[in-house]
Each structure stands twice: as structure tokens, then as C-alpha cells.
Amino acid sequence: MYRVLLVDDEAIARTGLRSTFDWEKHGYRLVGEASNGQRAMKWILNGDLDILITDIAMPVMDGLELTRRTRELCPWVKVLLLSCHSDFEFVREGIRLGASDYILKPTLDPDSLGAILDQMRSKLEEERQMQRILTEHEQQQRRNKKKADEKILFQALSGDPNAIEDLEARSHGGSYMMAVLQLDSDIGDRAAGGQQKDWHEEIERLLELLYDQVPEALAARLETDRIAAYVPVRPEERREVSEAGIKLPIRCIIGLSRGFNSIGKLHEAFQEAVESLEGLFFYRDKQILHAEDRLLVDAESAQEGSTSGLYGFRAGLAVGNMDKSEVELQAIMERWKPGRMNKPAVLKEAEGILGLLAMHYLPGGPALPQAGEAGRLRSVEEVKGLVLEAFRMLREEAIRHPVPESTLHERIVLQAVQYINARFTEPISLQEVADDVAVSRNYFSEMFKRVTGHNFIDYVIDLRLKRAKELLSTTSLRVYEVADRSGFNDVKYFSKLFKKLVGISPAEYQGQHRK
């Protein structure tokens, strides 16, 4: 219904207007009435009317001033002036101010009033339809421009130099940040009942919400469930925009780059935003992940810790020492934190552990989790759970089917031999090797002798002499260099020992093989 306001300083006139015309039957609703223009202003200020019926001559604020103010504040409102015969000059002024029509009070009746109101209603409907058309046209124009800009952004992210130039021209060299928005697939999976979800509608809705929240943003669809967004910002507003500006009611994760000033850094900014999403692997409850909040990983120290931890874990498994293996495993997983290891490194290490567990698992038991399963998990806690479950299964299997002592001794010595073979050219001790295989020094010495037929020191010397012979016969290294590369730190001791065990000096041995 169209809203009508009655204004007349004569109460009897207002009563007559109100009671002699069936407003609701004709599609109108009286929103109020006032005795002068000043009192009518509260409806005008609120925009709570479509048609104003007002007398011209009134105290405080007359109908002409009310008409002027109404047309200024509510230009869509149609004004009907009530006039006497002597008021014609005032009527002409009212029409000039924007009144739509007038009616003489002496000739006012329901039919004439209804006819004028219907004309006003038709005009209102016509104007509203025209406004809708204009609005839709403007919106379509903005959508078309946005789509063209989105295409340029996508091409710029793909490395197109022309698109990068176009984007720079549009941005006027201002500061910006890149955001990558990823729909939370958990929500989609549940909504789809476990079926493959079509993300198209969700992505379109996400784009609409993004533009509502940050109109100056520019987005490009990437993968099935991701979009990239270019967001112009002033440097001092960067954190404010990320925390307050991008708040989307739809469930999604946002990775944000730092602020950048050059479009030439667009791809770097985009990569930062993408890599920020990696934090989701470690922080499942966060929705906004910042590039500057990611701690740098010390690759060298992470690699060293990984190598030593895995070696100790492998040694424990090899000798059947599950307690030692569990301690080493917990130490390994303790490093699975942002700033110490990134997601790919964690997954690689987890897959290696699952592979080791599979190697020591006896056939015939329940199937262990496969190494490839780790890469399909969404969080570090899920990966830890998978690894611990596999270790638990191996441990329970070891309790049900203990390894015979003779076999266990062979496995321990085999592990020790692998350790010695990898390090015999370096200073190495019986205690060091015993610690690696998790047994006491004396027990290991006896076990090593029983399984290999050699004591520890003789075994190491034999390896070093074989390496020395290889170097002497195949290279032109000097004797002291051969000694050093074979694990002997004293060339005199090396020469004396070599002649005692081989029968000739290192130099003579080398000379024979040069002929």
C-alpha cells in the first residue's frame, strides 16, 4: 500500500478527509496527520510517506514551505495541495516547487480525490519501475566491469605482462595486499552428505559477500574451492582490513599476504597468501592466517633434527626396543610445529615413519595405515593420530609375537653394522655404537663377537684397511691423505699397522698397483 500523510490546520478538514474516503479499499494507508508543516516534518525526515496531502495556508510552517522541504528530502513523494479559490497564486508557486496537483476544497469529494490519487500512484509506479531499470542497468554495468577486471587479475596472476600493466594503471600505484579465500570443505562435505560437492554456487556467493564487505576488492576464481582477492589498502589500515573488513558469514579460511606497494610484486604477494593457508594444517581453529605471523623455518637445523630422530627411532625398531622407539617417536612429533617444520616436511617425515613401521610389521596381522594416507589428512593432529595408531598396532603385534633371542641378536648386530659401515672413517667407539642400538656396552661387545666372529675394534680396523687399499690402488693420494680418509688419524700408526697386517708398506702397495 502507498503511504499517505494528511496535513491541515483545521481538525474538521482532517476528519473529513480521513472519514469520507475508504483509504485501504483503494490501496492507501494513512501513516499520520499533522496540524502544520512543522509537526509533519517527523514523517518527512524519516521518509515514511509516498503521498503528501497538505493545505496551503497554515500557521508555523505553511504548505508551500512544507512542499519545498519535502521535495528536497524525499524527492519521490507526490504532493497534493488543498486550495481555496483565492489561493491560485499560491497554487502556482506550489506547482513550481514540485507539487504534483491541487484540488479545491469546495469541490473535494471522494471521486475527485480518488482520481487524483490514482494518477499519483501511477506516476509513483512508473518512476519506481524506471528506477528499477536504471538500477539494474547500473548494477549490470558494474558487474561487467568487475568481470573484466577479474579477468585481468587472473591473467596478471598467470604472469601476463600486459595484464600486470593494466592492473597497475587501475590501481594508481597504491598499496595492496593479496588474500586467498578457501571454502571449508568440511562444511561442504556434510552439506552434500558425503557426495562430491559442486562448489560453483558457494564460490559465487563467497564472491558476492566479499564485494559487499570490501567493495574495492578484486577477485579471481582459482581452483574448485578457492579465490584470490586483490585488496587495495592504506598501510596503516592493513590489519584493520584483514580483521574487520573481511568478515564473511560463510565458513571459509583466509590467507593474507603482507602489504605491498608495487604491482610488480603481485605474484610474490599471491604466493605469500597461498603459503599462509599452510598454517591451517597447524591451526585448525583459525579463520584468518597472516603471512607475517608465519615463523621462518631453519631448514638446516630441522633436517639435522629429523635425521638424528629418525635414526634413533629406526635403531629402536631394529632391536625390538619399543620403549626407546616410543620416546624417539614422541621427540620427533614434538618438532611438528610451525616455525620448526613446514607442512611438506611434516608429511614427508610421517610417511617415512609409516614406511619403517610397515617394514617391521609381521604379515598376517591387521593392515597398518599406509604412508600415502598421511598426505590426505587436514591437520598435524590427525597425522600424529595416524602415526601413533600405526605404532600402537606394531607394538601390540610385537607383544603377541615376540622375536626369538637369536633373531633379535642378529637384528641388533645388523643395525650396528649398518651404523659402523656409515661412520668407520670417523672417530667411533664401542660405547657410541652400543648406545645407538640401545644395549649396554659389555652386552653389545659379547653379542657382536658371537654373531660376526670378530671383536669390535678388529672389525673397524678391517673396514679401514680395506678402504685404504682401495684408495692406494685407485688414486694418486699421498699416504697421509689415504690414512686420513680411511679413518686413521696418525699416519705413523697407519703405516706400521698396514705393514704388519698386509706384509708391505702403504707406499710399496701403492707402487705395485701403479705398474
The angle at the Cα of 280, spanning 276 to 286, to the nearest 5 degrees, equals: 100
The angle at the Cα of 10, spanning 8 to 16, to the nearest 5 degrees, equals: 85
Residue whose entry in the numeric block shows the C-alpha cell 610445529 = 337
User: Domain residues for 235?
Assistant: 152-293
Same domain, 354 and 418: no
Q: What pLDDT score does 329 carry?
A: 92
Q: Looking at the predicted structure, is the pLDDT value of residue 189 above 60?
A: no
Phi/psi at 51 (5° precision): -130, 130
Q: Looking at the predicted structure, is the pLDDT value of residue 69 above 90?
A: yes
Give dist(CA 371, CA 349) in Å, integer: 10
* CATH classification of the domain holding 65: 3.40.50.2300
**Structure letter (DSSP) for residue 260:** B
Residue whose entry in the numeric block shows the C-alpha cell 609381521 = 362
Last residue of a domain, one of 402, 435, 450: 402
Give dist(CA 111, CA 102) in Å, integer: 14
For the segment 341-364, the average pLDDT, to the nearest whole number, is 82
Length of the chain: 515
Q: What pLDDT score does 483 carry?
A: 94
**The model's pTM:** 0.51
On whether the CB atoms of residues 162 and 151 are closer than 8 A, the answer is no
- 25-29, 201-205, 218-222: lowest mean pLDDT where? 201-205
Last residue of a domain, one of 274, 293, 312: 293
Give dist(CA 4, CA 27) in Å, integer: 10
pLDDT tens digits for range 400-443: 766 555 566 777 888 888 889 999 999 999 999 988 887 888 88
* CATH classification of the domain holding 485: 1.10.10.60
Same domain, 359 and 396: yes
Asked whether residue 127 is domain-assigned, the answer is no
Q: What pLDDT score does 458 carry?
A: 92
Distance of CA 156 to the CA centre of its chain: 21
- Rg, the chain, Cα only: 43
Asked whether residue 103 is domain-assigned, the answer is yes
Grid cell of 33 as nine digits: 496527520
